[in-house]
Structures are given as structure tokens and as C-alpha cells.
Amino acid sequence: MPPSDPNTPPASDQRSFDGVSHGYAPDGRPLDPPPVPLDKIVGDVVDNLSATAKAELALLEARGELALHGVSWTAAWGTIAACALGVAMLALAFGAILALAPVVGPLLATLIVVGVLLAIAAFAGWRAQVSYGDIRTALRRDLTNEGIDD
């Protein structure tokens, strides 16, 4: 007579593998886990959102630190470059005056070099003003230019 429960092994000496559930449980199928309560699921979602928000804030802080580091080194190297450029411009000006002095005289050579340097400075100032206008446009709140400019 066959046993009434299909998961129980037969009573004979011969072992049957009908009751083995492939390593999960020796006497049949494992029991289904109890359902997870809704408040536990909601709590997990809130915890995950909180962890995500904290990670985003940490990422923003790290990006800010990196930007500050880059700005400080850019300013330092920019200052060195500006000083070197200033010294080079002085050397160029003195060299131009010395080269022109025998041809046109020292006073006129100085005036020519000063005039050329003022023209270069005026052009650079105009380009800086255009670039500053681009910055103001980029940072303007009202990009359609209908309101008052900040």
C-alpha cells in the first residue's frame, strides 16, 4: 500500500530519492517564507532613499572640494604665468626701445613702443569685456532678456 503523503520515503530498505528536494530540505520542499509586512517594505524604501540622498550630498561635496582644489591651483599657476608674461613684455619693450633708438631717437622710440603696447592693451581689454559679457549672459536668471539684468 503506498504511503498517503507523497513526500515521505517508502518504508522498504531500498532508498528512493522521491523525498529529497535537491539539497534544500531532506524531507520535501522547503516552506514558503512568510510574507513581508508592508511597513517593513516602506521602511526599507525610506532607508534606501535616505542613503541615496546622503550619497548624492557626499558626491556634491566631493565635487566641490575637487573644484576648489582646481581653482586654487589654477589661480596659483595663472599668477606665475601672468608674472612671467609681464617680465617678458618689459624685456620686449626695452629691447624694442633699444633697437629703435639709433634709428628714430630715444624719445620717439619710447613713444612708438608705448603706443603699440597701449594698442595691445586696448585690444586685450576689449576682448576681456566681451568675455565678461558672455559670463554675465550665462549667469543671468532671465535668459530671454525680458526682465531687469542682474
- Predicted confidence at residue 148, as pLDDT, reads 59
Residue 5 pLDDT: 58
As a whole number, mean pLDDT of residues 24-32 equals: 62
Residue 11 confidence (pLDDT) above 60: no
Report the candidate in 121, 86, 108 with the shortest Cα–Cα distance to residue 99.
Answer: 108
Boundaries of every domain in the chain: 38-139
Q: What pLDDT score was predicted for residue 137?
A: 74
pLDDT, position 100: 94
Q: Which residues contact 8 (CB under 8 A, 6 or more apart)?
A: 19, 27
Query: Would you say residue 147 has pLDDT above 90?
Result: no
Mean pLDDT of all residues in 138-142: 70
Sign of CA dihedral 99, 100, 101, 103: positive
User: Please, what is the average pLDDT of the chain?
Assistant: 80
